[in-house]
Amino acid sequence: MSSEKLKIMMCPVSQSLYIDALVKYLTKENVHVELIPRFNRTPYPFYKFLNARIHGFPLLHLHWMPFNWFGIMKLVRKLSKSLDVKIVWTIHNLLPHNPRYGSFEKDKEAMRYMAEWADVGIVHSERTKEEFYEMFDVNLPLYVIPHGNFNEYVKIIPSEVARNKLRITEDKIVLFILSPDRWVKGIKTFIEVVNQLPTDYLGLIAGRCKDPEIKRYISNAIKKDPKKFIVDLRYLSSEEVSYYFGAADIFFMPYERITTSGSVMFALAHKKPIISTPQGNLYMLVKNGVNGYLCNTKEEMIERILSIDSQYCQKNGGEEL
């Protein structure tokens, strides 16, 4: 039996823990992975791609749509065809979170273009598979591979240690939303719900947010009762994220639209009960009354938050993992 390594190009180079975990796993399985930067108008990603192909890499594994322009995607497709490179595409989202190529209609056209180009697709749930075929009406073979957990990346910080560092008193019931950098994460609902909760509830809004409009909204919205919120909108290290999770009682991410959520995977790894919405793949991760609740309305969210037993959810959430 040959001991020669399987060779795979993977794109994009990313800070995503999903990519990091996948590369680590494949490397352990004797796969040689060559990371290719996101394709743009600079020559470097093309150099990396062509150099890898020359050195015997026959397969390109794409995540999301790693092309800064639609025209760049078309060029990479032509190169792939001419160089006989097979394409595997992991479809993390049915559409980008924000319009990527000018409008959602253009993004949908780009997704269909990717589906016609790829040889094989990967999704994280049967629901996504069904919705993808319904939305795009293509013949791309799709395989369901559930999203892996982030347990090995998480350091559990005891509540008292985390709260002492963040200066949060033990009498507060803390709801945490991570990196509210897109409207679809539900920051408006988060703030509206927290404002309607009793005075002993505290909203924790932390993590990178590059969108100036969202930043302005948060700043203005919390003026109604600033003592009910702690806001830290900067890039957080993994250790800092762990402190915020450690201080939280409930991870509250009321998504308006999502396919797969890395943030929810983080919450599960930190053994935090989750309040969210029945969007995308969340039905696979959040079991009502076990490790959280999926809610359809703000009223239901408030009811569940007021009734949730965080210790029970943490215990059962850990067993689910």
Runs of H (alpha helix) within the chain: 17-28, 44-54, 70-82, 104-117, 126-136, 159-166, 187-196, 212-221, 238-247, 262-269, 282-285, 298-307, 310-320
pTM to 2 decimals?
0.84
CA dist., res. 49 & res. 59, Å (int): 10
Residue 102 CB partners (closer than 8 Å, separation 6+): none
From 121, 144, 167, the end of a domain falls on: 144
Residue 5 has pLDDT above 90, yes or no: no
Sign, CA dihedral 260-263-268-273, equals: negative
Return the pLDDT at 149: 84
Distance between CA atoms of residues 46 and 41, nearest Å? 9
Q: Is position 234 within any domain?
A: yes
103 lies in some domain: yes
Q: Is 128 exposed, middle or buried (0-12, 13-18, 19+ CB in 10 A)?
A: buried
Q: Provide the domain count of the chain.
A: 2
- Of 237 and 255, more confident: 255
Q: Which residues pair with 274 in a beta bridge?
A: 251, 292
Same domain flag for 173 and 312:
yes
Residue with tokens 């319904």: 134
End-to-end CA distance of the chain: 36
What is the mean pLDDT of the segment spanning 281-303?
Answer: 94
In the beta sheet, which residues pair with residue 174? Answer: 202
**Domain CATH for 281:** 3.40.50.2000
Q: Same domain, yes or no, for 182 and 311?
A: yes
Of 109, 144, 179, the last residue of a domain is: 144
> Mean pLDDT across the stretch 142-155?
89
Supply the mean pLDDT for the chain.
Answer: 92
Facing residues of 143 across strands?
122
